[in-house]
Copies of this chain bind each other. A is one copy, B any other.
Amino acid sequence: MTTQFRGVVPPVVTPLREDRTFDEASFDKQINRMIDAGVHGLFVLGSSGEVAFSTDARRREVLAATQRVVQGRVPVLAGVIDTQTERVIEHIRVCEEYGVDGIVATAPFYALGGEAQVERHFRALREATDLPIFAYDIPVCVHTKLSVDLLIRLGKDGVIQGVKDSSGDDVSFRLLCLRNKEEGHPLALFTGHEVVVDGAYMSGADGSVPGLGNVDPDGYVRQWNAYEAGDWEAVRAEQDRLADVMKVAMSAKGISGYGAGVGGFKTALQLMGVFESNQMPEPVSALTGENVEAVRAVLVRNGLLEG
């Protein structure tokens, strides 16, 4: 089994109306806008896609909308994130209904275990589906780091076909890329850290999954094209620019974590006229007042919004 994923695959942010219902019209606009910008795939129901906040019904709404609007123009990854194996398999079943091209699963969380359980978890998912599986390495959320040895072993055995690395551990990612090359490239390796994609490309990444790609998909596509062309100065200059745009997700005062980060992306998209609202799911508050103005200032100075 191989996977067709390569390039820029943004994790799609999920727009809500003020009353916290799913805003399908804004979702459609956002999907089309990213495809038009040239992204190479889309990842729905990731951490940025508020999967942890989404009921099963909401997950279906997002998957159905994705299938309807994407229409196969780019391949689609879907998150099946949940605490433990059986619950994840239920989400896989739903994803299969909606025709996705791959699923993304984390290590199990909440209950404690060791690496043997993490390995068994991924093997149980493989037994349950024929879809390509991406291992999502995100210790800040699940409090387990996926080791290079484990990932390579799962890759060689055909259990997983790719990795989304949001571990913040660039040393480990480099070593993973090198091992993957030595082993004949069984895994498609993506970085989730939008501020240092250039470093990940230096390491040999097969692509990126930048949350900021919701706000500025053109920038990440330009950077990918420069990478493909071997124009490292352009890769790097684009990265410096995108690092400044990233401040939409880093400027909020008095609010931390998800509310500042994804809240900043949603606020940017509302200011840019893509989203109707910057509403956040319970128990997170949407950005307001000065925090909205801080986002606006970042967009204006980077030419993404008129001043």
> Which A residues are closer than 8 A to B by beta carbons?
47, 50, 52-56, 58, 81-87, 90, 108-114, 116-118, 120-121, 123-124, 140-143, 168-171, 174-175, 178, 193, 195-196, 198-200, 202-204, 230, 232-233, 235-236, 239-240, 243-244, 255-259, 281-285
Contact = CB atoms under 8 A, between A and B. Distances in A.
B178 A83 contact: no
A284 B196 contact: no
A14 B56 CA distance: 24
A10 B225 CA distance: 35
15 contacts: A50-B111, A53-B83, A58-B86, A84-B282, A84-B283, A86-B282, A109-B109, A112-B257, A113-B256, A113-B257, A114-B255, A117-B259, A196-B199, A202-B202, A202-B239
B170 A193 contact: yes
A240 B181 CA distance: 11
A195 B174 contact: yes
Nearest to A107: B283
Contact of A111 (B141, B199, B233, B236): B141
A114 B257 contact: yes
Closest 8 CB pairs of A and B: A199-B199, A112-B257, A232-B232, A120-B283, A85-B282, A52-B110, A121-B283, A52-B83
A178 B84 contact: no
Copies of this chain, tallied across the complex: 4
Contacts of A143: 143
A230 B54 CA distance: 47
B203 A199 contact: yes
B109 A110 contact: yes
B240 A178 contact: yes
A34 to B, nearest CB: 22
A47 B174 CA distance: 23
Contacts of A50: 111
Q: Which of the listed residues A109, A121, A195, A283 has the most CB atoms from chain B within 10 Å of its own CB?
A: A283
A53 B111 contact: yes
A258 B240 CA distance: 35
Nearest to A84: B53
A203 B232 CA distance: 12
A112 B258 contact: yes
Given A168-B168, A168-B170, A178-B240, 15 more contacts: A47-B110, A47-B111, A53-B87, A82-B83, A85-B281, A86-B281, A111-B257, A113-B257, A170-B199, A196-B199, A196-B203, A198-B199, A198-B203, A202-B235, A202-B239
Contacts of A82: 83
A12 B243 CA distance: 34
A177 to B, nearest CB: 9
Nearest to A112: B257
